[in-house]
Copies of this chain bind each other. A is one copy, B any other.
Amino acid sequence: MTEKVGVTSYDVARRAGVSQSAVSRAFRQGASVAPATRARIVEAAQALGYEPNAIAQGLITKRSNLVAIIISNLTNLYYPEVLAELTQRLSQHGVRVLLFSLAAESDVEEVLGQVWRYRVDGAIVAARLSTEQLSAFANRGVPLVLYNRIGEGVPVASVCCDSDLGERALVDGLVQAGHRRFGIIGGPADSYVGEERANAAINRLAHHGLKAEFVRGQFDYESGGEGLKTLMARTDNQLDALICVNDLMAIGAMDTARNIIGRKVPGELSITGFDGVSPATWEAYQLTTIRQPVRRMTQAAVAMLLERIESPDISPEQRVFAGELLSGRSARLL
């Protein structure tokens, strides 16, 4: 049972007294091998510590069983859950994950270069891709599924959480509960979900004949506090509802409201988030937010990708999932 390095199918063949191709077949599903032969081969393989070389397999079958996952900012607090789900689901289907995490958006080009070289079977991307980059996937025949993004200008398969539905639920609840002076903390201008959610909120407020003050944040804790301060200054401290496009900023805003500015939440100021990350449910926050159905979304992403790997010509499809309203206690809703 001494496992050794570099055991090949030839070594196994020799020990089992068969040909190399017999060994190959013995390790493939439903290949024609006599049960007795297969048994001898498996035994020999075990004794030698043989592990089929996936690299060599990939070279010849043109299927690496590798999928690239590209995520811009892993530290987002929301992505770890997504990443864990994705890798585990892919794993169940015999697919390995090649992970690329971007320090800066400008690293995308370099990352894509690596993606091509490894001949991945497909990719799941939660980062901003240019039209050219999107077409590069198409040209190379690499199936692609975008996560919480859509192909701008180019049709691409994607899974998203519905920003309109989500913000609508929050805005309607806030308006009906009597809030009138709204503030919104958006994301960086180059963030797709950030813009989506902010616009959704603005549009829904307009539908009620209301306007809102708007500032941008960076999706992080600090942005929440700073955004709130800015908005308060701009509105003469008259803000009574703050809509943040993600939970982390909402949490930062709550802390600032309570501990720095001295506003009761939700008594004097209602605050909402988006995502449903775990800290949102902590006692100290009980955030009113929209929880993304991560499990269903990741499941869909994986399913879509695998489908496209099997049948590359399936037409692009967008799957948009409704989030769940977590009433929480950071906002007065009706």
Contact = CB atoms under 8 A, between A and B. Distances in A.
Interface of A: 2-5, 49, 51-56, 58-59, 64, 69, 73-75, 77, 79-81, 83-84, 87-88, 91, 96-101, 103, 111, 113-114, 116-119, 136, 139-141, 221, 225, 251-252, 254-256, 258-260, 278-279, 282-285
Nearest to A76: B80
B283 A259 contact: yes
A136 B1 CA distance: 11
A143 to B, nearest CB: 12
Contacts of A118: 54-55, 96
Contacts of A51: 113, 116-117
A111 B55 CA distance: 16
Contacts of A259: 283-284
A160 B118 CA distance: 32
Contacts of A139: 2-5, 49
A117 B66 CA distance: 12
Contacts of A103: 88
B284 A255 contact: yes
Per CB-CB distance, the 8 closest pairs between chain A and chain B, nearest first, are: A255-B283, A74-B84, A54-B117, A80-B80, A51-B116, A99-B99, A3-B139, A87-B101
A140 B50 CA distance: 11
Contacts of A284: 254-255, 258-259, 284-285
Contact of A96 (B2, B55, B114, B278): B114
Nearest to A135: B3
B59 A56 contact: yes
A145 B307 CA distance: 37
B3 A140 contact: yes
A87 B99 contact: yes
A54 B119 contact: yes
A87 B107 CA distance: 13
8 contacts: A53-B59, A55-B118, A74-B81, A251-B282, A258-B283, A259-B284, A260-B283, A284-B285
A59 B60 CA distance: 11
Contacts of A256: 283
Contacts of A251: 282
A173 to B, nearest CB: 24
A282 B83 contact: no
A19 B27 CA distance: 37
B55 A84 contact: no
A111 B74 CA distance: 23
A74 B74 CA distance: 11
Nearest to A79: B80
Contacts of A69: 99
Contacts of A116: 51
**Residue of A53, A73, A80 with highest tally of chain B CB at under 10 A:** A80
B64 A75 contact: no
B101 A53 contact: no
Contact of A136 (B3, B54, B254): B3
A221 B278 CA distance: 9
B5 A141 contact: yes
Nearest to A112: B51
